Structure 1
Amino acid sequence: MVAAAGPHVDAAALLASVGLDAEGPSDPKAMLPADSYYGLLERIAAQTDVTDLPVRVGASMRLDEYGALGLAFKAATTLGGSFQRVERYARLWTSVVEYELRPDRRGTLFILHRSGERRLGLRLSNEATLASTVSIARQVCPVPVAPLEVLVRHPAPRSTAGHDDHFGCPVRFGAELDAILFSRETLARPNILGDEGISRYLISHLDAELSEIAEEAPLVARAKDAIAQALSGGAPRMPDIARGLGLSARSFHRRLAEHGMSFQTLTEDTRRDLAEGLLRDESHSLAEIAFLTGFSEQSSFTRAFKRWVGTTPASYRKDRMGR
Structure 2
Amino acid sequence: MAYVTSLFARKMVAAAGEGVDGPALLQAAGLDPEGAWDPKVMIPDTAYYDLLEGIAEQTDVTDLPVRGGASMRCDDYGALGLAWKAAPDLRGSLSRVERYARLWTSVVSYEVRPDPQGTLFILHRSGPRRLGLRLSNETTLASAVSLVRQVSSAPFVPLEVLIRHSAPKRTDAHEAWFGCPLRFDAELDALRISDEALGRANILGDEGISRYLTSHLDAELSQIAPEDTLVRRARDAIAQGLSEGVPKMEDIAHELGLSGRSFHRRLSEQGLNFQGLTEETRRDLAEGLLREPNYTLAEIAFLTGFSEQSSFTRAFKRWVGVTPASFRKDHASG
Cα offset for 1:25? Answer: 2.6
Whether 2:138 is the aligned partner of 1:127: answer yes
1:58 to 64, 69, 81: 69
Superposed CA RMSD in Å reads 3.2
Matched to 1:264, the amino acid is T
1-side partners of 2:236 and 2:150: how far apart?
42
Whether 2:95 is the aligned partner of 1:84: answer yes
Given the superposition, is the C-alpha separation of residues 9 and 211 from structure 1 closer, same or farther in structure 2, using an over 3 Å criterion? same
Which sections of structure 2, spanning at least 5 residues, go unmatched? 1-11, 249-263, 286-303, 307-334
Corresponding residue for residue 2 of structure 1? 13
TM-score, length-normalised on structure 1?
Answer: 0.72
Whether the aligned pair in 2 keeps the contact of 1:223 and 1:245 (CA below 8 Å) is: no
Cα offset for 1:35? Answer: 1.2
| Greater relative contact order (CA < 8 Å, ≥ 6 in sequence) | 1
Given the superposition, is the C-alpha separation of residues 225 and 159 from structure 1 closer, same or farther in structure 2, using an over 3 Å criterion? closer
Matched to 1:175, the amino acid is A
Given the superposition, is the C-alpha separation of residues 235 and 30 from structure 1 closer, same or farther in structure 2, using an over 3 Å criterion? farther
Given the superposition, is the C-alpha separation of residues 145 and 225 from structure 1 closer, same or farther in structure 2, using an over 3 Å criterion? closer
Whether 2:236 is the aligned partner of 1:221: answer no
Deviations 1:44-94, CA, capped at 9 Å, x for gaps: 101000000000010111000011110000001011111011101110121
1-side partners of 2:132 and 2:82: how far apart?
29
Given the superposition, is the C-alpha separation of residues 217 and 124 from structure 1 closer, same or farther in structure 2, using an over 3 Å criterion? same
Given the superposition, is the C-alpha separation of residues 229 and 5 from structure 1 closer, same or farther in structure 2, using an over 3 Å criterion? closer
2-side partners of 1:105 and 1:223: how far apart?
32
Question: Could you say what secondary structure the match of 1:32 adopts?
Answer: strand
1-side partners of 2:43 and 2:86: how far apart?
29
2-side partners of 1:227 and 1:13: how far apart?
31
2-side partners of 1:181 and 1:173: how far apart?
14
Corresponding residue for residue 120 of structure 2? 109
Corresponding residue for residue 43 of structure 1? 54
2:268 to 245, 254, 274: 245
Question: Could you say what secondary structure the match of 2:106 adopts?
Answer: coil
TM-score, length-normalised on structure 2?
Answer: 0.69
Given the superposition, is the C-alpha separation of residues 236 and 165 from structure 1 closer, same or farther in structure 2, using an over 3 Å criterion? same
Whether the aligned pair in 1 keeps the contact of 2:238 and 2:247 (CA below 8 Å) is: no
Question: Could you say what secondary structure the match of 2:161 adopts?
Answer: strand
Whether the aligned pair in 2 keeps the contact of 1:89 and 1:206 (CA below 8 Å) is: yes
Given the superposition, is the C-alpha separation of residues 112 and 75 from structure 1 closer, same or farther in structure 2, using an over 3 Å criterion? same
Cα offset for 1:196? Answer: 0.7
Aligned residue-pair number: 256
Whether 2:217 is the aligned partner of 1:194: answer no
Cα offset for 1:245? Answer: 2.4
